[in-house]
Structure 1
Amino acid sequence: MTIKVVELFAGVGGFRLGLEQAGGYDVVWSNQWEPSTKAQHANMVYKNRWPDSNHCGENIEDVIENNFDRIPDHDLLVGGFPCQDYSVATTLKNSKGLIGKKGVLWWSIEAILRRKKNKPKYLLLENVDRLLKSPSKQRGRDFAVMLSSLNNLGYAVEWRVINAAEYGMPQRRRRVFFMAYHQDTALYQRLESTVAKEDWLDSDGVFAKAFPIKELTEDMVTGILEKDLVTISNTFNLDKKLSPFQNCGLMINGEFFTTKSYPDYMGPFKTLGDVLIDSKDVPEEFFIPDTEINKPKGWKYLKGSKNEPRYNKALNYYYTYTEGSMIFPDALDNASRTIITGEGGKSPSRFKHVVEQDGRLRRLTPMELERLNTFPDNHTQHEAISDTKRAFFMGNALVVEIIEKIGAELYRNITTKTEPVLAQS
């Protein structure tokens, strides 16, 4: 049995890699478009790795608006969409649903689900974990809008915040993953029939099987979501200090159940040191000269603690700036810190990784950054793409092994529960 997949906001293909490694999935269409750049570098990587794929490098909003038939029917929709303001902007008189702000790509997902006659039966989406508590004046509103819109389209949802390092992977990267099951699926019906929702969250659900957690002991927070998205956008949790949404939970039939979970992993742990290549294979440009380490505003200064007077010219006032020190160089016997998009380039930075190898300090190479996200070696290598851009890709990417584990467990559930899928071509 093959599960047909559409991959949105594909980047350099992390979702595709994970699902292909899990087995049983076929990406029938993918889309990647970066609005802020003329050169579409991620598309170059994607097409280089999958030259025969049905890949689209155009603005997904334009495709949906003007050429919707290009998006084939599929069983599973996946994507790591940008974290933006998800407030509902308006209701269109001639539309069947609600449209958010232009350029907010959650609404591209919603539009595909709403307009597809044969709706995808499953969704697997990823975002930064602050999604569960944003924006600051309506904690949890953005996620509530998403949950309610999926409920209105006939889906149940479960979510989990997963830190890759807590399950043995070599990077501390915390992201929220959420899966949706259409009401026609056996997974939806199993979830609906589960009386004790905590059983689904800590033992029976897809996330619980793929990434085990300890038995839930904290109180469950519950609530009912408004069906009207404008009402949710305007009133949900207004002026409350805390979001109701914890790091794991589920929603079905408009009711959500959420609580705090803790990982339960006893396997091996990979470290930053495990991903390093031999120093003789590191290009000289990645080694940091002593003059760059100790100079004013250099590496040692930026990584160190600070307690110094500063002046705000715009507001015309003096203040004391304080900042704690960071481990310098980075520890090799633990998982790495989170890769950020500014990881590349020679300029000193507080947040870039620096390791000591054979008595010399250096930055991480693109291949080592790929390994921290469990990508294949040199996945992003391309003659037209710089090392700085390759580092940027990894700052935006997800951890492939997480998708592989979730994909394997989802496939097991689908195939052992005789879930219906699209007719095979």
Structure 2
Amino acid sequence: MKKLKVIELFAGVGGFRLGLEDTEHFEVVWSNQWEPSTKTQHASLVYEARFGSENHCNEDISEVKTAIIPDADILVGGFPCQDYSVATTLQNSKGLIGKKGVLWWSIHRILSEKKNPPKYLFLENVDRLLKSPSNQRGRDFAIMLKSLDNLGYAIEWRVINAADYGMPQRRRRIFFLGYHKSTALYKKLKKGNPEEWMCTTGTMATAFPATSTSSKINSFTIEEDLVTLSEEFNKGGKLSPFQNSGVFINGTVHTTKTTPNYHGKRVVLKDVLEKGKIPDEFFIPENDYPKWEYLKGAKKETRTAKTGFSYNYSEGGMIFPDALDNASRTIITGEGGKSPSRFKHVIQTNKGLRRLTPKELERLNMFPDHHTQLDGISNTKRAFFMGNALVVGVVQKIGQTLFDKINDL
């Protein structure tokens, strides 16, 4: 069977590529990675060191002309979470201009300008996308769904926490797949039962089994044009109408709350720890223990803002040090560096408390060891990459399942 050709946008250090090419059914034919407002493009340097510079573009995607991007079967990417509202429409244009710098509209532009658009989309984002912004819950996702509907795609989505399926990190992200109306999968989804698709027969349900916990599926139409949606969708609504699983086809949303259904092997934090000598820089000096304990602990205190305004502040305690017999907490971009922090991982060893090494952080995202190791790239920067990355195992599983579905029809 021939490989599916992939365009990888917002590539970071290549998590999507690792997951897809690991299945041996996908080939990345063009990639783009650009970090705005930084002089040295560290992530792009790592990407090129691992995958080569051929067909890799290190330019702002909003400035890249669609004509230089080759045709492909599937477009993938973890695009930045921004404000997706529609800024304006122009007479005699394609009807839509998104806000400048909002990278969702770069994906939209590429799909709309290509004579042969990709038949499939595979995208990732933070799960709050389903309920942002706070004054119009779900508006951003509704704009996205409708804009893809206008371009001829049906969408299925699922919020997946990697640890719920035995992977070593608790990392919740929304993954969504798009099927162009020219594909057999689109036609199958259109003819099928939405609840069955979400819970048993769809790509997500096959890759990551789940059970619906709602007594009924919530269905509604999104018929408005994008500008009206941007201004009016769920205005004043306290809750988003979008649940953690759903499909959208031909202007109609079907969505339900699902819970994971997994009984296999589980990898936990202790399974990824390095054996052997750990460099001293990762051990926390004993005189810093009280600072770490304070930041990780429960608090109820009065604080004073810079303006002089006093307010009551409280937060719960965290498990400290981190539990070794469970999947790890989510890695965030501020994971690196020696300074005490509430959010960095700290483990107990027989030599005292220490932070996680870059290799251990790579393993929590299921990257190969040393993937981000490169001259000129600091350990703090390597931790930052892993805070931005996705869990490769999730991509691999969805990619394999998507390939199987395409070839089963």
What's 1:155 paired with?
A: 153
Q: CA deviation at 1:95?
A: 2.3
1:299 aligns with 2:292: yes
Aligned residue number for residue 71 of structure 2: 73
Deviation at 1:80, TM superposition (A): 0.1
Of 136, 139, 153, 1:138 maps to 136
Deviation at 1:291, TM superposition (A): 0.7
SS of the aligned residue for 2:334 comes to coil
- Structure 2 counterpart of 1:354: 346
- SS of 1:262's equivalent? strand
Q: Does 1:93 align with 2:85?
A: no
Is 39-48 or 214-223 further displaced after alignment? 214-223
Tell me, in whole angstroms, the C-alpha distance in 1 between the residues paired with 2:32 and 2:277: 35
* Cα deviation digits, residues 195-229 of structure 1 (max 9, x gap): x2100110110001000012554321111112410
Matched, 1:282 2:282: no
**What amino acid is the match of 2:7?**
V
Deviating above 4 A after TM superposition, structure 1's stretches of 4 or more consecutive aligned residues are none
Residue 368 of structure 2 corresponds to residue 376 of structure 1: yes
Measured in 1, the distance between the counterparts of 2:191 and 2:158 equals 21
The SS at the match of 1:281 is: coil
3-state secondary structure, aligned to 1:319: strand
> Would the aligned equivalents of 2:154 and 2:178 in 1 still touch at CA under 8 Å?
yes
SS in 2 for 1:251: strand
For 2:299, give the aligned amino acid: K
Query: 5+ unaligned residues in a row in structure 2: which ranges?
Result: none
| 1:52 Cα deviation from its structure 2 partner | 4.9
Q: Quick one: distance in 1 between partners of 2:120 and 2:288?
A: 51
1:320 aligns to what? 312
Please tell me whether residue 229 in structure 1 is matched to residue 229 in structure 2.
no
- Alpha-carbon shift at residue 309 of structure 1 (Å): 2.3
* Offset at residue 159 of structure 1 (A): 0.2
Once the 2 structures are TM-superposed, how far is the Cα of residue 53 of structure 1 from its aligned partner? 3.4
Mapped partners of 1:171, 1:307: distance in 2: 29
Counterpart Cα distance in 1 of 2:63 and 2:92: 18
Amino acid at match of 1:299: W
1:18-417 to 2 correspondences below 5 Å:
18-64=19-65, 68-194=66-192, 196-215=193-212, 217-278=214-275, 280-294=276-290, 298-314=291-307, 316-417=308-409
How far off its partner does 1:415 sit?
A: 1.6
8 Å contact from structure 1 (residues 218, 260) kept in 2: no
Amino acid at match of 1:384: G
Whether the aligned pair in 1 keeps the contact of 2:212 and 2:256 (CA below 8 Å) is no
Q: CA deviation at 1:389?
A: 0.4
Distance in 2 (alpha carbons) for counterparts of 1:304 and 1:375: 31
- Give the structure 2 partner of residue 15 of structure 1: 16
Superposed CA deviations along residues 17-56 of structure 1, whole A, max 9, x for unmatched, are 0000122111000000001211100010000001153100
- Indicate conservation of the 8 Å contact 2:12/2:385, yes or no: yes
**AA in 1 matched with 2:333:** T
Q: Contact 2:212–2:257 at 8 Å: present in 1 too?
A: no
8 A contact 1:15–1:78 mirrored in 2? yes
Amino acid at match of 1:369: L
Deviation at 1:390, TM superposition (A): 0.4
- Give how far 1:178 is off: 0.4
SS at match of 2:31: strand
Distance in 1 between the 2:89 and 2:313 partners? 46
Shift of 1:311: 1.7
SS at match of 1:214: strand
Contact 1:97 1:114 (8 Å CA) reproduced? no
Query: What letter is aligned with 2:211?
Result: K
C-alpha RMSD of matched pairs (Å): 1.1
Which letter maps to 2:323? A
* 3-state secondary structure, aligned to 1:367: helix
| 1:332 maps to amino acid | L
Distance 1:57 1:272 in 2: 34
Contact 1:133 1:139 in 2 (8 A): yes
For residue 23 of structure 1, what is the amino acid of its counterpart? E
2:302 is matched by which residue type in structure 1?
P
Distance 1:159 1:185 in 2: 18
